[in-house]
Structure 1
Amino acid sequence: MTTVTIIGGHGKVALRTTPLLRDAGYMVRSVIRAEAQSANVSAAGAVPVIADIEHLDVDAISDLIDGTDVVIWSAGAGGGSDERTWAVDRDAAVRTMDAADKVGARRFIMVSYLNSRLVDGVAPITETEAGLPAPAAYYNAKSEADEHLRTATNLDWTILGPSVLSAETGSGSITLVTDPETRDVDVPTTSRENVAQILVAVINNPTTVGRTFNFHDGETSISQAVA
């Protein structure tokens, strides 16, 4: 049975993804920070693993994910200080990628944001850019982490770039965004349920390896969009 480890297993996307993975026949391990989160994770269908990924080095993360076939990064600082945002959304993510490389957990799926990227090696979001729903530190930390995944690992990666997330019921349909200048404020939101569905859709689809999918809720079925 294929084992999937979700980093950030108590997040709103992760808790929606877990039962879909379970129903698809995967064994799911969810890495969470607090024992109090275990009941919700277990109810969703995952084995809870208590670990504070923010403070683990590469060797400790390697031990944590050893034997895993697929790693899903769905963790985040959740709007804390800029310092913690960099520590979780970039540094801990990069250490997890390096750990996955080390133990041979080759399939790595990153939940990122719409059009995450560097421009001439620099994260492009400035503190003064108007209208964005999160601090610049979040966008730039994610961009740098994604670039590490693309260029500095040997992993079979896929990056998912949804627009601002919503609690709407998932339609199973999305629209892919191909203009790299499009920002979160320019497009509709994305249902967390749709993100969960696309996570399951890309795991064992070899055509999605090495690809980035930027998207929001739309009119194209997820199966057709990822194909």
Structure 2
Amino acid sequence: MRRWQIDSLAELRRSYPDAEVTPYGSVLEPTLLDSWSDLDVAIRITSVVDLESVLGTRIWASQAARDAGWQVIRLVLDDGRRVDLKIAGAEAEVPAPASDNQIRFDAALAAARFGRGNDLIGLHLVLGILRESLVHRMVAADRQEERIHHRHATAQDAHAADLAALLRAPLGPTTARGAYELYGASRAEVDPDFVAAPGGLEAVIARGTEDGGEGLVTQIDIELA
């Protein structure tokens, strides 16, 4: 089965024929590359990189950092691809992230971890999302009761059972989706303008499970180096 990582790498090279585009990570190891893998690429270039234009879709979630002269950008795209880029020589343009950007990113990473059976990491990420959900519910309770100390249950306390129910179910990529849905509902309680957008996460899960999360690549038919 041909993987999207190979096609996306080829597209980066076509878009920047004069750049140094160097893949690393699982794309170099056919036996490791599967439907949950991201694409890791280092790019040395002299012109500004418009990532959404080059990658052909909108960025759903992102993380950005600096590392010894490299601009390090981790992306989750609307179509479910996950791409980690290291860029030197010029800057990459990254749109302003959504207000729930970190929650989105953690949910996508959790889905991939659960998909691989890395339940410890997946659950760690999900618990962080659920913790934020509880914070919003507590703020909602304070606003509804017009106080910050509550000796007895409030209407918001019933929602704790929703989180507990999610964790009682078998762990898997849908656990990450459920956590994001609970976060969206709790955030909307205190931020009426907030609208959850699970599309990128749904796409990550769809890509990861399209062949059961298995079906490793047995041949890479383009030049990687």
- TM-score, normalized by length of structure 1? 0.30
**Structure with greater helix share of residues:** 2
Higher relative contact order, chain-length normalized (CA < 8 Å, sep 6+):
2
TM-score, length of structure 2 as denominator length: 0.31
The structure number with the bigger radius of gyration is 2
